[in-house]
Amino acid sequence: MSSRLLLLVMLFGIFPANAWAADATASLLIRHQQFEPKQLMLPPATKVKLIIRNDNAMPAEFESYDLSREVIVPAHGQVTVYIDPLKPGHYGFFNDFNPAMKGQVVVVKPAAAQGN
Amino acid sequence: MLATAVIVFREVLEAALIVAIVLGASRGIAGRGRWVAAGVGLGLLGASAVAWLAADLSAALGGSGQAVLNAVILLSAVIMLTWHNVWMRAHGRELAAHIANAGAEIQGGRRPLTALTVITLAAVMREGSEAVLFLWAIAAGGGQRSGMLLGGLAGVAAGILIGALLYRGLLRIPLRHFFSVTGWLILLLAAGLAAQAAGFLNQAGLLPALGTGLWDTSNVLSQHSLVGRLLHILVGYIARPSGIELVFYVGTLVTIFALTRIAGQEQKSPRRYRRTSDETEA
């Protein structure tokens, strides 16, 4: 019993931290068995709130080993995933329910971004 | 059909391996079969409920409802695994003697039977909900669904088979070492689940990452590989861990280790005491 109580206290203790706002918002769409965009550009060293929407009639599981992220996106549903500040680089993600569906988070250095 | 089988297999495998370890670790505890079976049954009910409510859950807590629910499920499993290991530290020898001699019933302390139910429930509910959701969508969708459903069922069967093989393998460990091996397995399993919970709380924006990608061993052992996946389930292998995952992993290891040590020391003159198997402990 007490362990469950402890868990509740822990959770409520953590919740105010939700106030932590993300510095940027990005969105990813699942449509026609594809991620849109397949290359998701994110700013470096920024906490990002990523909104993933699924327009398919099949549920998807957005998963990334590189980002340690895993979330079910129900059919015609939408979820939020926070991504912590990233170093420049490529971070793969895929749909665990349809591994042929792949994409990448691309983070470039500020200077390189300006060059584009 | 094969693709479906593989997807479902992966979801079922994690639950099956955890149930196998729990069944092994609770060997000799009277009534454990019923409590584990109850956990599987409740877990399937819970998994169906989660799959049914998937859309609402995902929308809850600003889109992070699922991650928070996963973290709660995982952390309750971690707490119950801790209790189990602490109890086993005090009673492992009695149990081994009991299995060897088919002797008197173990009476010391409260048996961690609820823990067995909660751990199995957590494992089956978390992984099962994904499998149920996936199979459900196939069943509801059109196309070549009978083949895909068949594939799904094959995946379920294969996952359970691997779990059964692990259990049979565990039983081959000599009784003398048996409970110390299962104790270590549970310790690493709990640490891995705690790290996963940390990942989910971080994903929900409730915990800081404390650094992403502390190191990257995906070139050495990718999490996409079968071995990588197995190690992820069994010992919490993460190729590119964040700081908070590491903190939860090490914190859980140290906590369970310390608690089991304390439980071991609380016994007066341990060796002699443990051998008198029919005495009740305070």
At A15-68, the pLDDT tens digits run: 444 445 678 999 999 998 899 999 999 999 899 999 999 999 889 999 998 888
pTM for this entry: 0.85
Q: Is B119 left (phi over 0), alpha (psi -120 to 50) or beta?
A: alpha
Query: Using the beta-carbon criterion (under 8 Å), do B238 and A68 form an inter-chain contact?
Result: yes
| Contact residues, chain B, for A98 at CB < 8 Å | 3
Identify whether A12 is part of a domain: no
Identify whether A75 is part of a domain: yes
Q: Which residues have a Cβ under 8 Å from the Cβ of B268 and sit 6 or more positions away? A: none
| Contact residues, chain A, for B3 at CB < 8 Å | 98-99
By Cβ distance, the residue of A3, A18, A65 closest to B223 is: A65
Domain that holds residue A86: 19-115
pLDDT for B265 = 79
The region of weakest confidence among A103-107, B2-6, B34-38 is B2-6
pLDDT for B95 = 79
Identify whether B115 is part of a domain: yes
Whether pLDDT at B46 is above 50: yes
Average pLDDT (B144-173) is 91
Identify whether B194 is part of a domain: yes
Cis previous bond, B174, omega within 30: no
Average pLDDT (B212-235) is 90
CATH of the domain at A102: 2.60.40.420
At B103-114, the pLDDT tens digits run: 555 555 567 888
State the total domains in chain A: 1
- Beta-carbon pairs below 8 A across chains A and B: 121
Identify whether B256 is part of a domain: yes
For chain A, which residues lie within 8 Å of any Cβ of chain B, measuring from their own Cβ?
A: 3-4, 6-7, 10-11, 14-15, 17-18, 20, 22, 49, 51, 57-59, 61, 65-82, 84-87, 96-99
Identify whether A109 is part of a domain: yes
State the total domains in chain B: 1
> What are A103's two structure tokens?
């994409």
Domain that holds residue B249: 2-275
Average pLDDT (B91-109) is 68
